[in-house]
Structure 1
Amino acid sequence: MTYCPHCGWPDAQPFQVVSRHRTTEGQTVWSRCSCGSLQVRVVDGACTRVVARGRPAAMF
């Protein structure tokens, strides 16, 4: 199992799904972690992979 490097939230439990789009690879899912970082996931028949991850939003 993998975890968010910023807050430790499990990647297998997206905190908030922002959008889903069908692609030739399966589905692209944009989600936010509990810390606010944006993640891009590729979901195919075999697995779900986090392919990109942003940093949490800065608090002012």
Structure 2
Amino acid sequence: MTDAKTWMCLICGWIYDEAAGAPEHGIAAGTAWAQVPMNWTCPECGARKEDFEMVEL
């Protein structure tokens, strides 16, 4: 995957890194944010996918 992006939960600050994925939460490494299911929620606070924003680390 090139240019993997990082997304942050605006509610609690949990970070989703496309390169790392979230395998412990059902999202394989290398999964682009656009491919994360719409019904997926933040593993820390339960926020919806639309409560995440792309961040530059």
Shared fold per TM-score greater than 0.5:
no
Instruction: Give the helix-richer structure, 1 or 2.
Output: 2
In the superposition, the TM-score normalised over structure 1's length comes to: 0.36
Structure with max Cα Rg: 1
Structure with larger RCO (C-alpha < 8 A, sep 6+): 2
In the superposition, the TM-score normalised over structure 2's length comes to: 0.37
Instruction: Give the strand-richer structure, 1 or 2.
Output: 1
